[in-house]
Amino acid sequence: MNCESFGSCGSCTLGEPYEDQILYKKQLIGDKFREFFDGEFEFFASQPQNYRIRAEFGIWHDIWHSAFDLAYTMGGARSKKILINECPKVALPIANLMPRLLEVLRRSEALKEKLFGVEFISCASGILATLLYHKRLGEREQEAICELAGKLGIRVMARARGQKLLSGELSLTDELCVDERVYKFRFGENAFIQPNRGVNEKMIAWARSCVDFGKEGMGVVCAAQNFAVKNSIAENSVAQNSSHEQSDAQNSTDRNSASENSAEFDAACRNFVKANSACIEFNGENFVKFNYASADESSADKNSARKDLDVRNSASQNLDCEKRCVQNSACEKLIAQNSSCEQSAPQNSSCEKHSVRPENSAARDLLELYCGHGNFTIPLAAKFNRVLASEISKSSIANARINCELNGVCNAQFVRLSADELMSAFARRREFERLKGIDIFGYDFSHVLIDPPRAGLEPSVIDFIKNFENLIYISCNPQTLFENLRSLCATHEVRRFAIFDQFAHTAHIECGVLLKRRS
């Protein structure tokens, strides 16, 4: 990537050819995590440029040169900020819009006054440009953004403290192609989204490939189903079962199956040449290199749940599956009856004709923490019988339910709870109105997917998820992942380890780890 500002701009810190950056990151992660995993580290590369679908720039005002009185700025490597003319990292629709937008802003007194920043989002539904102000916005600015949107063919938002103006209806929708299927996602302008669409698609496909209900695990599946049903019989009344049967019949219509493909290594990780940089230790002084992150990255949910629950999986392993095959058949029906009550009316309304059938008859249930607007939930839903997903953001939960309808997913239940609150509910320490009508103890979780913020998982949350057989950990911070694996590997072993290069030309690294409970 050729960038005229490299070295003075503080955003990109790796100037080597991209192939060498790949080798450097593989060596860095491989050396650090080799104590947990001695297999092949999968690497999923980015486009070298034009990969960012979300970007933010400052605005500089020059009061002495009226012909060029506005310019974009970025944080500098050796100064607070620098002026830039372009940014090769941003997606082409944003790159092409940037000079045109600046030219129109220069001619509008209403829009350039007190303007201090611009944010861009490029998605399937178009481009949103958000103008940030240090002033009170009024009718003059409202008229001006409508005119701007019409000239450039984009959506425009103006924001100031406590104010938000829109040029028209705002509906952001993107499309992701995963395992030969296109998924549609609606999200809000403030939602956390993965900024690299191509790597995000690879990351989701990799997570799907981590779900394996093969013959090797059938014994455990059968035993777990037997044990789960015993608990279900004790916890559910005859009246509940009757109503669930009706709901189950309604939810089982016409489901589409998605094709299942395992993720492949990116070709770039197959090129082995000498890395041109030394291995860097993850110590306090050097780890500052890993602290580059998107400004809109979620910081919700600092989990503080306590050690709580004995999960049914461990106890159920003692049951003899072969002698109980007849019982299993009846049990599976009962589980389906008890599960269907969890689907809310809005989620079911448009799903009946387009719902997705689980891709494997041995599928069990998925628990997902920090689900956002369903980035992983929606594509993974077809791998499981049912999904319980939690998220603290009210708007993200609302969009996640809409995304279920957009993609014909009816087996996912979303709850607006932090991880801490959900742990309290599982431990029966607290009751929540938001869980009314949802039997969280009726699930039979075989997998837990966790995608925490940079702070990682607190010990109490680790103690909870240790009880489950399969863990899929998506990490945006290698240091906290390393610390969490020290605890998790006491009960689990790492089966797969992936590196996702979400931010090419920077030291930021994201990882995916599949852990399986030790026998």
Backbone angles phi, psi at 150, to 5 degrees: -65, -40
What does the alpha-carbon distance between residue 86 and residue 360 come to, in Å, rounded to a whole number? 48
310 forms bridges with which residues in the sheet? none
Q: How many helices (H) and strands (E) does the chain have?
A: 15, 17
Q: How far apart (Å, rounded) are the C-alpha atoms in residues 498 and 475? A: 10
Please state the separation of Cα 164 from the chain's center in Å. Answer: 26
- DSSP alpha helices (H): ranges in 64-217? 92-106, 109-112, 139-152, 197-209
Residue of 294, 219, 237 lying closest to 51 (CA atoms):
294
E strand or H helix that includes residue 185: strand 181-187
Measured in degrees and rounded to the nearest 5, phi and psi for residue 514 equal -105, 120
Q: Is 458 annotated as a binding residue?
A: no
Burial class from Cβ neighbours inside 10 Å (0-12, 13-18, 19+) for residue 77 reads: middle
Angle between helices 238-251 and 325-339 (to 10 degrees): 80
Instruction: Report whether 194 belongs to an annotated binding site.
Output: yes
Which residue in this structure is represented by tokens 């030219």? 103
C-alpha distance across the termini of the chain, in Å? 48
What is the rounded distance in angstroms from the CA atom of residue 182 to the CA atom of residue 159?
Answer: 33
SS3 298: coil
**370 annotated among ligand-binding-site residues:** yes
**222 catalytic per annotation:** no
In a 3-state reduction of DSSP, which class is residue 102?
helix
246 labeled part of a ligand binding site: no
C-beta of residue 355 within 8 angstroms of C-beta of residue 251: yes
Please tell me the distance from the alpha carbon of residue 228 to that of residue 158, in angstroms, as a whole number: 53
Distance CA 366, CA 360 (A): 14
Residues facing 367 on adjacent strands: 388, 448
Q: Which helix (H) or strand (E) holds 369?
A: strand 365-369
Q: CB of 45 within 8 A of CB of 269?
A: yes
Whole-angstrom CA distances from 241 to 31, 56, 245, 252 are 53, 52, 6, 16
* Catalytic annotation, pick one of 123, 222, 410, 476: 476
3-class secondary-structure state, position 13:
coil
Reduce the DSSP state of residue 290 to 3 states and report it.
helix
Output DSSP code: residue 356. Answer: B
Compute the half-sphere exposure of residue 185: CA atoms within 13 Å on the CB side of its CA: 30
Cβ-count burial 465-486 (b if 16+ within 10 Å, e if not): bbbbbbbbbbbbbbbbbbebbe
The residues carrying an active-site annotation are 476
